[in-house]
Amino acid sequence: MQSHRIKSVLALAVLAAVMLIVVACGTPAAQPPVVQTVVVEKVQTSAPVIQTTVVEKVQTSAPVVQTVVVQATAVPAKAPEAFVFGAQGEPVCLDPAVITDGISGRVINQIYEGLVKFDKDTTNPVPSLAKSWTTSDDGKEWTFKLQEGVKFHDGTDFNADAVVKNFDYWANTKNSVHAKQLAAGQVFEYYEAQFGGFDENGVIQKVEAVDPTTVKFTLKEPQGPFLNNLAMFVFVFASPTALDKYGTETCKNPVGTGPYKFVEWKPNEQVVLDAFADYWDKANAPKMKRVIIRNIPNNSARLLALAAGEIHALEGMEPRDVAAIKDDPRFKLLLRPTNTTGYLAFNYNVKEFNDPKVRQAFAQAINKQAIVDALYGGTGLVAKEFQPPSLWGYNPNVEDWKYDPEAAKKLLAEAGFANGLSEVTFDGKKVPLEFWYMPVSRPYYPNPKDIATAMAADLAKAGINVSLQTVDWATYLDRRSKGELPLYMLGWTGDNGDPDNFVCYFFCLGTGDKPLSREGFANDKEVSDILKKAATTIDKAERTKLYQQAEQLIHDKVLRVFVANNQPPLALLANVEGYIPNPTGTEYFNLVEVKPAQ
Amino acid sequence: MGHYLLKRSLTLILVLLGVSLLVFGFVRLIPGDPAVVMLGERATPENIERIRAQLGLDKPVYEQYLIFISNALRGDLGTSVLRQEPVTREIIRRFPATIELAFGAMIIATLLGIPLGILSAVKRNSWFDASSMVVALTGVSMPVFWLGLMLIFLFAVTLRWLPSGARLDANTQFQPITNSVLLDSLLQGNPALFFQGVRHLILPALALGTIPMAIIARMTRSSMLEVLNQDYVRTARAKGLHERGVILRHALRNALLPVITVVGLQVGILLSGAILTETVFSWPGIGRWLVDAIYARDYPIVQGVTLTIAIIFVVINLFVDVLYTLVDPRVRLD
């Protein structure tokens, strides 16, 4: 009896072993046959494929599935039909109204379009579904003329009513879908942030369809960044029919007017998009039949997938890998124009930080150039002000504080700390000076711990002794927004390419000119007033002047230490053409073409 | 036996209640509020309050636990914070990928580990013994993360024999039935899909299976060595049986008993190793989902997945105990 059982166990084991061997034999060493299963039409991979032999067709419960075995024999190379992008993570949702994350944004960029969009490589708004526009003299009325003959992927016509309907969905809390989204726990975060709130609280008071191809916006007060806001990847239009049909399920069922239409989203695997045959903008029609955005969470594994030819492009690299990619002829290295600034922020509830001399000592003690050279993998730039140089409010005339530990020491002595600074008065208590760094890599600080260590060493040379501290990311953000961190590293990546989004978010005082705990109680009314004025000015030349003036003041008063701008690297296979990095990360895959491999 | 199973099932319920309490408590001890994480750097206090109320986080903790446990007993593990998806449905959808990976790793671990252990014991103190035990020791000490990347570099980039990760090629689409690629491809009679699935499984299974393989090999070796010194083995040899018969029929059967326990315990290692393996190999299972959920403070997912893993662990332990009686007639369960 027992031996029978053992025998059957052994038999099973042998069976499994045989299966494994069979399987192993089924994967020959060199040039395996390319096996693929495709929906409806045959799609070829990047491997050289010539002869197509249909070995079998299998009808399954899903009638569209058929199996095609493509056998690869000798060359000539054929261009791949799909562009495969390696993303760092999973999209949160494909309904642009309720997202803020760039990974969802990348997919949404290909499916949807708005009135205006960012130009290919800058943050300047250019026409998209709006052909042209006019502004009233007081800046409160905007009239957009729409493209004609545009259709959504589901066949619905795009017109002024569709625009009105989308704005109603975003801005009107009584809109049935909006209300359902709120009940489901969604947040219309970007609409609230960019347009000042919902219903009558919002800047946009009225959106009207004048005729099928004309839309008129009425604003409560002029908004400087209005066009830049409209160009963001979240203010793009969903098919009204689809919105009614899917409601809160729009996340999984995106229908727009863009060059690529949604096919499927396999969680934690990939999102597949196909070229939209009726795309209106023939000059910018998609060059590839299909776009696949694969989720590969590990930086090293993603780069290896590129080296293996399984993906064509990727984002997110370890700084040490950047240099290696640069000199390798198999790859192209692109740097996204910088839209991000890493800084060291003072909490003004620390008594000592209210002395400008102490702050200036910090600014002169840190050797930014050395940090950028050693720790940014060649993609960093020294920051001397808050806005990155790609923004039009950037002030080229600001002269950075010079790195000079001796000068820093002297400043400290003048401020009454001749023996250096290692203890501070925080919320009325004497405590050791803590220096907080983030636990996660962000575009502005690719390796925060190393950067923090370098800064702490620099500060020590000037007599400032800090204790380095960190905590998990969620807690870090939480404590920072409550104003609990005395001295901390953080940064900002621009949302809409407008200077307001950088400087005002941090240096505009809250309602009633109250300093914000979120920003370490930064409290400078002079700067805040200039920024608030710029936010409601429409004239760009006038605004530029105001932002440059504000940057000069922020520098002179050393309200913060700005450390570095980063240009996030992208790696592509050498045969990928037409990938144009945009500062906001809004990149247009319809321009991308994968040429035959060499 | 029936009595025993009943008794064990009752303890199982107590264990699971304990686990649910621990998990529920621990996720709430991790600092950081799910609403803050979800809303990110732009969170407004009003939105944080609204989301907290939405998630029931404004209620007293014991009330939250009672809601959680009463729903869990009905099979409802709640709705995820970030994507508002039913957790039970998502576990069912994502679990087959992890099972496939763990199963593949277990096959590799036992099929390589047991023969390696037997051979080492039989050829004790030979160069084979020494080198295979060095391999085993290396296997136990090697981080799955590093090993995974090395395997990808060698087999996917340099040799291009196998894909670097994911369950299927990017161009492949298929309509899942159970969400196990291997099972579904067989159900759909699609051998091409099956082999593609296997090709994708080999590297992650190898990475995940290495530590259990090393443990099993070492256990088999020591257990085998002990058995080979027993009187009945000497008797078998004295009877004139040839060596192969002695080892496979007399020694191995007895030597395997402790190995079975070790194999059972590896399930825990496999499930925890799956978290790393799934990240390196972009494998869409519950391990990676759990990691993402911990970072996002997505309490319902963390609770649901941990509870599921605990159930599996406890059930497999029970299964191993029962299996023991089948293999060893001396063991009685009552």
* pLDDT band at A446; cut points 50, 70, 90: confident
Mean pLDDT of A424-429: 90
Indicate yes or no: CB of B31 within 8 angstroms of CB of A45.
Answer: no
Burial of A512 (0-12, 13-18, 19+ CB in 10 A): exposed
* pLDDT band at A370; cut points 50, 70, 90: very high
pLDDT of A594 higher than 70: yes
pLDDT, tens digit, 9 for 90 and up, residues B57-68: 888 989 999 999
What's the DSSP call for residue B41? Answer: G
List the structure tokens of B258: 């402790």
List the structure tokens of B59: 């209620």
Which of B84, B85, B172, B173 to substitute to test the interface with A, most A CBs within 10 Å? Answer: B173
* C-alpha–C-alpha distance, residues B316 and B271, integer Å: 12
* C-alpha–C-alpha distance, residues A597 and B17, integer Å: 58
| Angstrom distances, CA of residue A504 to CA of A304, A395, A498, A508, B210 | 41, 15, 10, 5, 54
Mean pLDDT of A125-136: 95
Mean pLDDT of A181-188: 87
First CA to last CA distance, chain B: 7
Q: Does A374 touch chain B (CB under 8 A)?
A: no
SS3 A539: coil
Indicate yes or no: CB of B32 within 8 angstroms of CB of A478.
Answer: yes
pLDDT of B248 higher than 90: no
* pLDDT band at A356; cut points 50, 70, 90: very high
What mean pLDDT value characterizes chain A?
Answer: 86
* C-alpha–C-alpha distance, residues B265 and B257, integer Å: 13
pLDDT, tens digit, 9 for 90 and up, residues A74-117: 444 567 899 999 999 899 999 999 988 889 999 999 999 999 99
* Chain mean position to CA A572: 18
Provide the percentage of residues in chain A whose pLDDT is more than 90. 69
pLDDT of B333 higher than 70: no
Provide the percentage of residues in chain A whose pLDDT is more than 70. 87
* pLDDT band at A374; cut points 50, 70, 90: very high
- What is residue A513's predicted lDDT score, i.e. its pLDDT? 84
Q: Chain A residues with CB inside 8 Å of B82's CB?
A: 92
Indicate yes or no: CB of B171 within 8 angstroms of CB of A192.
Answer: no
**Higher local confidence (pLDDT), A67 or A220:** A220
3-state helix, strand, coil in chain A (%, to 5): 35, 20, 45
Contacting A residues, span 165-224, partner chain B, CB-CB under 8 Å:
182, 184-187, 189, 192-193
Contacting B residues, span 101-160, partner chain A, CB-CB under 8 Å:
107-108, 110-111, 148-149, 152-153, 156-157, 159-160
| Angstrom distances, CA of residue A495 to CA of A230, A292, A505, A586 | 11, 25, 11, 10
* C-alpha–C-alpha distance, residues B250 and A17, integer Å: 22
Q: Does B4 touch chain A (CB under 8 A)?
A: no
* pLDDT band at A585; cut points 50, 70, 90: confident
H/E stretch holding B327: helix B299-327
Q: What are phi and psi of B239, to 5 degrees?
A: -65, -15
pLDDT, tens digit, 9 for 90 and up, residues A296-325: 999 999 999 999 999 999 998 888 888 889
- What is residue A294's predicted lDDT score, i.e. its pLDDT? 95
pLDDT, tens digit, 9 for 90 and up, residues A405-414: 999 999 999 9
Report the relative pairing of strands A313-315 and A82-87 from DSSP bridges. parallel
Which of A37, A70, A441 to substitute to test the interface with B, most B CBs within 10 Å? Answer: A37
Cβ proximity of A113 and A236 under 8 Å:
yes
What mean pLDDT value characterizes chain B?
Answer: 87
Which residues make Cβ contacts (< 8 Å) with residue A107, sequence separation at least 6?
Answer: A91, A94, A254, A271, A273, A293
* C-alpha–C-alpha distance, residues A180 and A173, integer Å: 9
pLDDT, tens digit, 9 for 90 and up, residues B32-60: 778 877 776 667 778 888 888 888 888 89
List the structure tokens of B100: 């496939």
Phi-psi region of A114 (alpha: psi -120 to 50; beta: other; left: phi over 0): beta
* C-alpha–C-alpha distance, residues B281 and B202, integer Å: 11
From 3.40.109.10, 3.30.413.10, 3.40.190.10, 3.40.50.150, which CATH number describes the A82-335+573-594 domain? 3.40.190.10
pLDDT, tens digit, 9 for 90 and up, residues B202-236: 999 999 999 899 999 999 999 999 988 888 888 88
pLDDT, tens digit, 9 for 90 and up, residues B284-306: 999 999 988 988 888 899 999 98
Phi-psi region of B166 (alpha: psi -120 to 50; beta: other; left: phi over 0): left
List the structure tokens of B253: 């059967």
Give which of B24, B20, B22, B26 is closest to B73, Cα–Cα: B20
- What is residue A40's predicted lDDT score, i.e. its pLDDT? 33
* C-alpha–C-alpha distance, residues A76 and A72, integer Å: 11
Provide the percentage of residues in chain B whose pLDDT is more than 70. 98
Indicate yes or no: CB of B47 within 8 angstroms of CB of A187.
Answer: yes
pLDDT of A46 higher than 90: no
pLDDT, tens digit, 9 for 90 and up, residues B113-159: 999 999 999 888 899 899 888 888 888 888 888 999 999 999 999 99
Contacting B residues, span 210-249, partner chain A, CB-CB under 8 Å:
none
Cβ proximity of A129 and A297 under 8 Å:
no
Mean pLDDT of A224-235: 94
Cβ proximity of A236 and A256 under 8 Å:
yes
Q: What is the DSSP string of A285-334?
A: --SSSEEEEEE---HHHHHHHHHTTS-SEEE---HHHHHHHHT-TTEEEE
Domains in chain A: boundaries: 82-335+573-594, 340-566
* C-alpha–C-alpha distance, residues A178 and A97, integer Å: 9
Indicate yes or no: CB of B36 within 8 angstroms of CB of A474.
Answer: yes
* pLDDT band at A39; cut points 50, 70, 90: very low
- What is residue A55's predicted lDDT score, i.e. its pLDDT? 36
Of B90, B192, B253, the CB nearest to A67: B192
Cβ proximity of A470 and A453 under 8 Å:
no
pLDDT, tens digit, 9 for 90 and up, residues A271-304: 999 999 999 999 999 999 999 999 999 999 999 9
**Higher local confidence (pLDDT), A465 or B250:** A465
Q: Chain A residues with CB inside 8 Å of B54's CB?
A: 185
- What is residue B42's predicted lDDT score, i.e. its pLDDT? 67
Q: Does B52 touch chain A (CB under 8 A)?
A: no
Nearest residue of chain A to residue B51 (CA atoms): A185
Q: Does A87 touch chain B (CB under 8 A)?
A: no
Indicate yes or no: CB of B31 within 8 angstroms of CB of A272.
Answer: no
| Angstrom distances, CA of residue B60 to CA of B30, B45, B53, B66, B303 | 17, 20, 12, 10, 18
pLDDT, tens digit, 9 for 90 and up, residues A253-277: 999 999 999 999 998 999 999 999 9
> What strand order describes the sheet that includes A65-71?
A34-39, A65-71, A51-53
Which of B37, B41, B288 to substitute to test the interface with A, most A CBs within 10 Å? Answer: B41
- What is residue A77's predicted lDDT score, i.e. its pLDDT? 57
SS3 B120: helix
List the structure tokens of A94: 């494909």
pLDDT of B112 higher than 50: yes
Give which of A357, A353, A334 is closest to A345, Cα–Cα: A353
* C-alpha–C-alpha distance, residues A83 and A292, integer Å: 6
Q: What is the DSSP string of A11-75?
A: HHHHHHHHHHHHHHHTS-SSSPPEEEEEESS----SS---EEE-------SSTTEEEEEEE--S-
* C-alpha–C-alpha distance, residues A589 and A286, integer Å: 7
* C-alpha–C-alpha distance, residues A297 and B211, integer Å: 23
| Angstrom distances, CA of residue A69 to CA of A46, A83, B162, B193 | 15, 21, 18, 10
Of A37, A186, A311, the CB nearest to B193: A37
Q: Chain A residues with CB inside 8 Å of B288's CB?
A: 268, 297
Burial of A176 (0-12, 13-18, 19+ CB in 10 A): exposed
**Higher local confidence (pLDDT), A213 or B272:** A213
Of A187, A267, A297, the CB nearest to B51: A187
From 3.30.930.10, 3.10.105.10, 2.40.30.10, 3.30.465.10, which CATH number describes the A340-566 domain? 3.10.105.10
First CA to last CA distance, chain A: 64
Q: Give the number of other Cβ atoms within 10 Å of residue B138's Cβ.
A: 12
Q: Which residues pair with B9 in a beta bridge?
A: none
* pLDDT band at A22; cut points 50, 70, 90: very low
pLDDT of B324 higher than 90: no
Burial readout A457-482 (b: 16 or more C-beta within 10 A, e: otherwise): ebbeebbbebeebbbbbbbbbbbbbe
pLDDT of A47 higher than 60: no
